[in-house]
């Protein structure tokens, strides 16, 4: 992935993408609550910005510790449990994985 330098005059960024529930169920469920349009776009913008702040260490999550590596997040307690939980199968509507 190549990251280009910022232009002198920032250009607007337009994104068009397709999000299916099978890919990211939590994100899909969060965004589908809003009708098409500005509210859904603003929610996605807020989620992306908050995620960026957490990733850069400017916003701290509950249980999060300072990490010596930029772009990484540390947690008190069972860090492996947090990580492994991210990769578990999605919970279906029947109440189980």
Domain boundaries, the chain: 25-86
Mean of pLDDT values over 5-25:
88
d(CA 95, CA 97): 7
- pLDDT tens across 16-45, in order? 889 999 999 999 999 999 998 999 999 999
Phi, psi dihedral angles at 74 (to 5 degrees): -110, 150
**pLDDT for 81 beyond 90:** no
The mean of the pLDDT values for the chain is 78
Residues 58-74 have pLDDT tens digits of: 777 776 666 666 555 55
d(CA 71, CA 57): 7
């Amino acid at each position: 992935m190549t990251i280009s330098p910022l232009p002198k005059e920032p250009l607007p960024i337009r994104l068009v993408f397709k999000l299916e529930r099978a890919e990211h169920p939590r994100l899909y469920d969060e965004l589908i609550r809003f009708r098409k349009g500005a509210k859904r776009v603003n929610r996605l913008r807020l989620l992306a910005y908050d995620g960026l702040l957490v990733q850069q260490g400017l916003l701290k999550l509950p249980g999060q510790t300072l990490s010596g590596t930029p772009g990484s997040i540390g947690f008190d307690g069972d860090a492996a449990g947090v990580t492994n939980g991210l990769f578990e199968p999605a919970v279906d509507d029947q109440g189980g994985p």
